[in-house]
């Protein structure tokens, strides 16, 4: 259960859309964590593209990106996750020569979830909060 087709039949090679481009893009980064993060985000995008029969970068349209973002929202991904996926996709598109389309992707994201997250204003800490930071409590005032 949960086995993939290629696990059951190694002779079957399933090619995801954009696989060579994704590999080339991810290999440019020296940090294993960066490569892993980009790979995860772009593989998720590629998986979605497979489901809607998009197999080439030239087939990407604003409508397709809109559907992808709707899909992400339906999966209950947080806004931070969606922003990260869009950032990965935008970087990938810029590196593959689709700079103008990368801008369109970011614009569509803004329409879906807004721009940058709002920052909460900073407030001063109370004396009790400062005490907690220093390990001081009412029971142990000299800690």
Tens of pLDDT, residue by residue over 46-91, are 888 888 888 888 888 888 888 888 898 888 888 888 888 988 999 9
Q: Give the residue carrying structure tokens 């593209």.
A: 49
Q: Which residue has the higher pLDDT, 87 or 16?
A: 87
Residue for token digits 């080439």? Answer: 56
> Measured between alpha carbons, how far is 124 from 67 in angstroms, rounded to an integer?
43
- Predicted structure pTM score: 0.64
pLDDT over 80 (residue 138)? no
Choice between 118 and 96, residue whose per-residue pLDDT is larger: 96
Dihedral pair phi/psi, residue 119, rounded to 5° = -90, 140
pLDDT, position 11: 44
**Closest Cα to residue 112, out of 139, 143, 85?**
85
Residue 25 has a CB neighbour count (10 Å cut-off) of 21
């Amino acid at each position: 259960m949960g086995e993939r087709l290629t696990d059951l039949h190694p002779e079957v090679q399933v090619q995801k859309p954009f696989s060579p481009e994704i590999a080339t893009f991810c290999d440019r980064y020296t940090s294993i964590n960066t490569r892993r993060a980009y790979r995860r985000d772009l593989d998720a995008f590629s998986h979605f593209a497979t489901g809607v029969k998009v197999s080439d970068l030239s087939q990407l349209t604003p409508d397709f990106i809109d559907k992808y973002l709707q899909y992400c929202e339906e999966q209950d991904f947080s806004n931070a996750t969606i922003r990260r996926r869009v950032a990965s996709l935008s970087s990938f598109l810029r590196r593959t020569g689709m700079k103008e389309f990368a801008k369109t992707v970011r614009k569509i994201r803004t329409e879906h979830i807004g721009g940058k997250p709002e920052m909460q204003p900073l407030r001063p800490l109370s004396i009790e909060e400062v005490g907690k930071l220093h390990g001081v409590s009412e029971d142990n005032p000299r800690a």
